């Protein structure tokens, strides 16, 4: 039996909202410092940790090495096993 994925934390939701609105507003992703300023985190390593957690879940990815190269991904649907015919 598979476990349901854990819901996003409040901080992860805030980071997702910042990335989403920034991309809509500017056409590219925000930097780590820009994310931190909007969610109230002064430590760039804290923002990077939250960002990495979202990357692991497949919600955000980076197209290059820079942080502002991030993009939103469509969440993967849960796998329910093989269907029989």
Mean pLDDT on 61-69: 68
Confidence of residue 3 (pLDDT cuts 50, 70, 90): low
Parallel/antiparallel/unpaired status of strands 60-62 and 70-72 = antiparallel
- The residue with tokens 């923002």 is 47
Query: How many Å apart are CA 21 and CA 7, to the nearest integer?
Result: 21
Q: Output the pTM of the full model.
A: 0.73
pLDDT digits (tens, 9 = 90+) for 5-64: 788 899 999 999 999 999 889 888 888 899 999 999 989 899 989 988 998 888 888 776
* Contact between residue 54 and residue 16 where contact means Cβ atoms under 8 Å apart: yes
From the CB of residue 67, how many other CB atoms can be counted at a distance below 10 Å? 18
């Amino acid at each position: 039996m598979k476990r349901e994925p854990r819901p996003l934390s409040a901080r992860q939701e805030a980071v997702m909202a910042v990335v989403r609105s920034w991309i809509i507003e500017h056409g590219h992703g925000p930097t780590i410092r820009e994310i931190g300023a909007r969610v109230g985190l002064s430590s760039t390593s804290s923002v990077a940790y939250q960002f990495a957690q979202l990357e692991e879940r497949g919600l955000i990815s980076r197209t290059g090495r820079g942080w502002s190269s991030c993009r939103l991904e469509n969440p993967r649907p849960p796998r329910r096993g093989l269907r029989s015919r």
